Amino acid sequence: MSLKKSDTLDDAFLQQVYQINPQVVYQIKDNHVIIEKEQNHWVQRLFRKLYVKIPEKSYITLDDYGSFVFQIIDGNKSINELGSLLSSKFEEADTYLYDRLTLYLHYLEVEEKWIYPVN
């Protein structure tokens, strides 16, 4: 099994280590990560005062790949190690593995702020 690394990714980037943000509230059910997200935007609070039924929290269930990656992020494993573990768990994930993994980690870090870089 050969892991396909993109030509655009350098080895220094693949040594990046991530940690789960301690403020993220999540639970694991049937090997899927369920993340609790507060819906606390000012518009949502306004509509709640107007008696519109808007839940205070929403729940996001990650798919198999996302749940696996989220559970193995521990502040010690590099992107390279995460990719190797993902590839050994899901053989079909080998195609563009590191390109897709880095996009996913970027989304978790920048958009959702569920993880942050350690080094």
The DSSP bridge pattern shows strands 25-29 and 32-38 to be antiparallel
Q: How far is CA 62 from CA 34, 48, 51, 68, in A?
A: 6, 28, 31, 9
The conformation of residue 76, written as its DSSP 8-state character, comes to S
Residue 7 tokens, joined: 């030509």
Output the domain CATH number for residue 43: 3.90.930
6 within domain boundaries: no
What tokens were used for 31? 């090997």
Stronger pLDDT, 13 or 107, i.e. the higher one: 107
Domain assignment present for 112: yes
What does the pLDDT look like over 61-112, one tens digit per residue? 999 999 999 999 999 999 999 999 999 999 888 888 998 999 999 999 999 9
* 38 belongs to a structural domain: yes
pLDDT tens digits for range 22-69: 999 999 999 999 999 999 999 999 999 999 999 999 999 999 999 999
> What residue numbers bound the domain in which 29 lies?
11-117
Which tokens go with 19?
A: 């940690």
- The total number of structural domains that make up the chain: 1
Predicted TM-score of the model (pTM): 0.83
